[in-house]
Amino acid sequence: MKRRLLLQGLAVALAGGTARAQTHKATNRMDKDIATLQRDWKTLLAQNASVATDTTPVTKTDEQWRQSLDPAAYAVLRHEGTERPFSSPLNLEHRAGVFVCAGCALPLFTSAMKFDSGTGWPSYFTTIPNVFATTTDTKMILPRTEYHCVKCGGHHGHVFDDGPPPTGLRYCNNGVALRFIPAKA
């Protein structure tokens, strides 16, 4: 009996140490200088990566958007829909790379900005600078901050103040509104 308690206590202590080490590692990654994270996204891309680098607005008719996007991306980007939680493969994307707008390929986030929020949607604690415009959304009664791509106007999600350090923000993004470009090899 005492040996079982000792072994259980040892297992709990080891698990706690592992969890603390993982938390410390994640905190160290997120404690990187935000300005550096926001500035260095171009270093992740291969030279032939096709991304938008300017924010000149894209103008298309609704029919042109419908033809250029798959139905789920069209519903989210153009009509402020929301995908089902835990339905996006980008929740499980852990490779180094850049997340771009599915509507116009404007780089929005890097993999270093991503964290697991447990909400079912890809989440980020900061963005590449000057890529989003915000509005107040009152559809759910309580006001929320909604963000849209500055280049194509596509709806991406909502930003909340329950994220991790160093920003305390959680950009809760619909996965269908993004495309992932892996880092150059």
Residues serving a catalytic function are: 172
d(CA 99, CA 58): 19
- Token duo for residue 9: 């206590």
Give Cα 73 to chain centroid, integer Å.
Answer: 16
Diameter of the chain measured on Cα atoms: 73
Closest CA to 80 of 153, 2, 167, 165: 153
Q: What is the DSSP string of 9-33?
A: HHHHHHHHHHHHHHHHHHHHHHTS-
Q: Are 179 and 107 in contact (CB under 8 A)?
A: no
